[in-house]
Structure 1
Amino acid sequence: MKVAVGSDHAGFEYKEIVKNHLQEKGYQIIDKGTYSKESVDYPVFGEAVGKAVASGEADFGIVICGTGIGISISANKVPGVRAALCTNEYMARMARKHNNANVLAFGARVLGIDVALGIVDQFFSSEFEGGRHERRVNLISEIEKDLCG
C-alpha cells in the first residue's frame, strides 16, 4: 500500500517518525515534504498529499501540522479527498469505517507521539463498512461534483 505523507515545520518530526513506523510495517511511503523544521506554509503540503491521493499516486495520505486543522482543511480542498482530523483511536476507526476517509490528519502540538501512532495504526487497520455509510459518502461526493464541477 502506498501512503503519501506531508507536514509543515510543526509536524516535521512526527512525519519522520510516522514514515519509519509505516515503513517497518511494509507500507511504501511517498514523502511530499516538508523536509526540515524550517518554517513553511501548511497549505502547500496538504494540497500535495491530497493530489497524490486523488490522482491514485497514493492509496491513502497522512497530513500533520501543529493542530492538524489547517492542513486538513487544505487537503479537503482537493476534489476526491476525505481528510479526517482525528484526536483519538476511535475517531480514526470511525473515519475509515463510516466516512471512508482517505487522508488522516492530526496535530503534532496536541498529541503525544504514542497517541499519534495509535491513531495511525487504527486508521490503517480499519476498513470502510459500506452499506448505509456508502449512501452518505456518495452524498458528499455529489456535493463536491455540484460545487466543483
Structure 2
Amino acid sequence: MRVHLGSDHAGLDLKDHLLNWLTDHGYEPVDHGPFVYDALDDYPVFCLRAAEGVAADRAEGLDSLGVVIGGSGNGEQMAANKVHGVRSALVWSEETAVLAREHNDANVVSVGGRMHSLDDMTRFVEVFLATPFPGDERHVRRIGQLCSYETTRELPPLPESALGRVDGTDA
C-alpha cells in the first residue's frame, strides 16, 4: 500500500521516522516534505500535496492512505480535508485511529508531533493503516451524505424527528 506523508517543522522528526518504519513494514511511502527543518515553514504546502497524492491514487483505483503531521495535528487535518475526496481524522489514541477507519473510512490520518511520544504516534499510524473499513450500511450512508454535500453543496434532508425543531422551537 502506498502511504503519502506531509508535515511541518514540528512533525519533521516523526515523518522521517515513519518513512523508515513504513518501508520496514512493507508500505510504499511517498514523502511530500518538508525535507529540511525550517521553523517558519507552512504546513498547507506539504499536507495539501500529501492529501492530493491520496486522492489521485484513489481516483486511479489504487489503495493508498495518507499521514499528515504537525505540532497538534489540527491544522494539518484541516488542510488535508480541503482536498476533494479526502477524509482526514485527527487521532490521539488507538481507539480514535480504529474508529476513524471503521466508522468514517478516513483515508488520511493526522497526528500531533508535540502531543505524544514517538512510539505512541507510530502505534496510532500503525493501527490506522491496518484497520479496514467494514462497510456497515449506516457508515456508508453517512459517508455518502458527506460526499454528496462535498460535490453538490446541498444539505442532506432532515429526518422526520428534526422537522420543526431547526429554529429551536418544539414541534
Match of residue 50 from structure 1: 51
Match of residue 38 from structure 2: 38
State the shift of 1:45 in Å: 1.2
- Consecutive unaligned residues of structure 2, counting only runs of 5 or more, are 155-171
Q: 2:157 aligned with 1:135, yes or no?
A: no
- Consecutive unaligned residues of structure 1, counting only runs of 5 or more, are none
State the shift of 1:147 in Å: 3.0
Q: 2:159 aligned with 1:121, yes or no?
A: no
How big is each residue's C-alpha offset from its partner over 1:47-95, in whole Å with a ceiling of 9 and x where there is no partner? Answer: 1011101111771100001100001100100010000000001000110
In 1: Cα distance, 2:45 partner to 2:86 partner:
15
State the shift of 1:29 in Å: 0.7
Match of residue 152 from structure 2: 146
Question: Where has structure 1 moved over 2 Å in runs of 4 or more?
Answer: none
**Percentage of matched positions with identical amino acids:** 39
How big is each residue's C-alpha offset from its partner over 1:93-124, in whole Å with a ceiling of 9 and x where there is no partner? Answer: 11011100000100101111111011011101
> 1:73-92 maps to which residues of 2 (within 5 A)?
73-92=78-97
* Local SS of the residue matching 1:61: strand
Q: How many residues align?
A: 148
Give the number of the structure whose alpha-carbon radius of gyration is greater.
2
Which residue identity does 1:31 align to in structure 2? D
Which residue identity does 1:67 align to in structure 2? S
Task: Output the TM-score relative to the length of structure 2.
Answer: 0.83
> What's the C-alpha RMSD, in Å, of the aligned pairs?
1.4
In 2: Cα distance, 1:102 partner to 1:62 partner:
9
Match of residue 13 from structure 2: 13
Task: Output the TM-score relative to the length of structure 1.
Answer: 0.95
Q: 2:77 aligned with 1:72, yes or no?
A: yes
Worse overlay, 124-133 or 65-74: 124-133
Conserved 8 A contact 2:10-2:113:
yes
Q: Greater helix percent: which structure?
A: 1
Which residue identity does 2:153 align to in structure 1? L
